[in-house]
Structure 1
Amino acid sequence: MKEQQDEWLAGRNAVTEALRSSQSVQKVWVAEGVKKASIHEITQKAKEQNIVVNFVPKQKVDTLVGHKNHQGIIASIAAHNYSDMETLFQRAEAKGTAPFFILLDGIEDPQNLGSILRSADAAGADGVIIPKRGASGLTSTVAKASAGAIAHVPVVKVTNMARTIAELKERGLWMIGSDAKGDGDFKQLDASMPLGLIIGSEGKGMSRLVKESCDFLYSIPLMGQVTSLNAAVAGSLFMYEVQRKRS
């Protein structure tokens, strides 16, 4: 996966303070050859917070941050702060509607994530849930692609998507998944229930565990020669179908 245009922190002190504070650190990169003893606190705190630490050649670090004044360690931070799950439930309660959450199973393209946030805002979704690993975070590229929606749609980052889905189902949500081999047409979905809409990654779709967690799998009829739609486009169709039926 190509690294996104995140905001960068360079140097041991800057990265250490970011991990100590509430800043949303996405990933940490360490140049090969840096003494592990000198970055022990950083790697330990990153591990405690389930933040990925990548050990890469020094040239890679130079390229990512754009200069060589980094002491062999840099971190990418989110362009916007993340929210928590309770905020999503509170938004639904305030509107007096059944919860409607969007769960993204590994959307890597920041343009797609930005587009999904834009659609989520327009369709009245209560928030978006993304995984910590293997997916785009809230980068500046995502913010631009969202056309401002990133400021209005709360995004929750979770460690384990399958476990999160199980917890949401315990709280009354029904999970519907977008899948090319789904049993029914997406227009058949019941929008009156508390819903979690799961959108799989570009190309691979949903992971096995996530797919097995779905209560319903729906497909979008395709009349042409292509076999699938862009993840953001498919997600938008589902979101607006929920909005249409709830209006």
Structure 2
Amino acid sequence: MSSHSERNDARRGKNTRGPGRFPKRAEAPADDWLWGWHAVAAALANPRRAKPQRLLATADRAREIERRFGRLPALEVADNAQIAQRLPQGAVHQGVALKVEPLESAALEDFVAEPGAVLVMLDQVTDPQNVGAILRSAAAFGARGLILQDRHAPRLAGALAKAAVGAVDAIPTAQVVNLSRALESLAESGWRAVGLDGAAEASLEEALDGGPTVLVLGSEGEGLRRLVAEHCDVLAKIPMPGGFESLNVSAAAAVALYAATRARP
């Protein structure tokens, strides 16, 4: 039977295990690291990335990295437990983790308005898993970029990058101060904004015209904020004959991106 000194003392709110038996997990904010093979490999392959600060990999992953990217000074061979110690609890790292400077924000001027071009704008969508899944769909359907408000969006690392499966480095992301002003600037460049709103009269199919389109999606529950909605050229809904009131925002983004793909000339 374990002694009191070897148990977690919930009353005191601290761990009273003997020293050295279980190493303390290192403090590792989720926005400091990328993990998962696809996310890390995409970052290493991206010429827009700064040099890695640290790259932890199991022996097998280290050999794979060297085959694909050559010798990297930042590479350190570590076992799975050692890698896990550098990451947030429960991170599924697949034998590799990378600490690197964040990507620089894209500029709105980088997004050229061409027939069939699609951008995605997120209004206060803050869940990293949702944003990561939206980036993955954006990459799959050939979107030109993602636009986020810098104060109300998760950083493009950690669990978000893992969910995006490499799309963080495939899709340029612009982080802007004000979404309404961003929509004004994009409109001047020839973009047309289609906001998704479950209460809209027009269907998404009716709203899409095949021209350069910004798909604007709001947070679950609150939807688009008033000023953002007012800066959209049209509001549209995704018809749902099955009777469910709404889709998860990442699922709605995937449906909207597919619809926009079909509307391309």
Shift in Å, 1:100? 1.7
The aligned residue for residue 158 of structure 2 is: 140
Q: Is the 8 A contact 1:116 1:232 kept in 2?
A: yes
- Shift in CA distance, 209/233, structure 1 to aligned 2, threshold 3 Å: same
Shift in Å, 1:225? 4.4
- Shift in CA distance, 115/205, structure 1 to aligned 2, threshold 3 Å: same
- Shift in CA distance, 225/242, structure 1 to aligned 2, threshold 3 Å: closer
Q: Is the 8 A contact 1:114 1:142 kept in 2?
A: yes
- Shift in CA distance, 182/154, structure 1 to aligned 2, threshold 3 Å: same
What is the identity, as a one-letter code, of the residue corresponding to 1:88? F
1:218 to 2:236 alignment: yes
Q: Is the 8 A contact 2:211 2:264 kept in 1?
A: no
1:227 to 2:252 alignment: no
The aligned residue for residue 56 of structure 1 is: none
- What do residues 153-207 of structure 1 show as CA deviations (whole Å, max 9, x unaligned)? 0000000111111111111111101100112111223332121110111221111
Aligned pair partner of 1:7 in 12, 28, 32: 32
Aligned pair partner of 1:176 in 179, 188, 194: 194
Q: Is the 8 A contact 1:78 1:137 kept in 2?
A: no
The 5 Å alignment of 1:50-199 reads 79-89=102-112, 97-199=115-217
Shift in Å, 1:79? 4.5
Q: Is the 8 A contact 1:79 1:143 kept in 2?
A: no
Shift in Å, 1:133? 1.1
SS at structure 2 position matched to 1:246: coil
Shift in Å, 1:106? 0.9
Q: Is the 8 A contact 1:185 1:219 kept in 2?
A: yes
Q: What fraction of aligned residue pairs are identical, expressed as a percent? A: 36
Which TM-score applies when normalising by structure 2? 0.60
SS at structure 2 position matched to 1:130: strand
Q: Is the 8 A contact 2:195 2:229 kept in 1?
A: yes
What is the identity, as a one-letter code, of the residue corresponding to 2:110? T
What is the identity, as a one-letter code, of the residue corresponding to 1:168? L
Q: Is the 8 A contact 2:135 2:167 kept in 1?
A: yes
Instruction: Could you tell me which runs of 5 or more consecutive residues in structure 1 were left unpaired when the two chains were aligned.
Output: 9-21, 24-64, 67-76
- What do residues 81-115 of structure 1 show as CA deviations (whole Å, max 9, x unaligned)? 432223322xx66xxx4432111111110000001
The aligned residue for residue 59 of structure 1 is: none
Bigger shift: residues 131-140 or 211-220: 131-140
Shift in Å, 1:226? 2.9
Q: Is the 8 A contact 2:108 2:186 kept in 1?
A: no
Shift in Å, 1:246? 1.5
SS at structure 1 position matched to 2:263: helix
Shift in Å, 1:136? 1.8
**Over aligned residue pairs, what C-alpha RMSD do you find?**
2.7
Q: Is the 8 A contact 1:102 1:127 kept in 2?
A: yes
Distance 1:197 1:170 in 2: 16
The count of residues paired between Structure 1 and Structure 2 equals 177
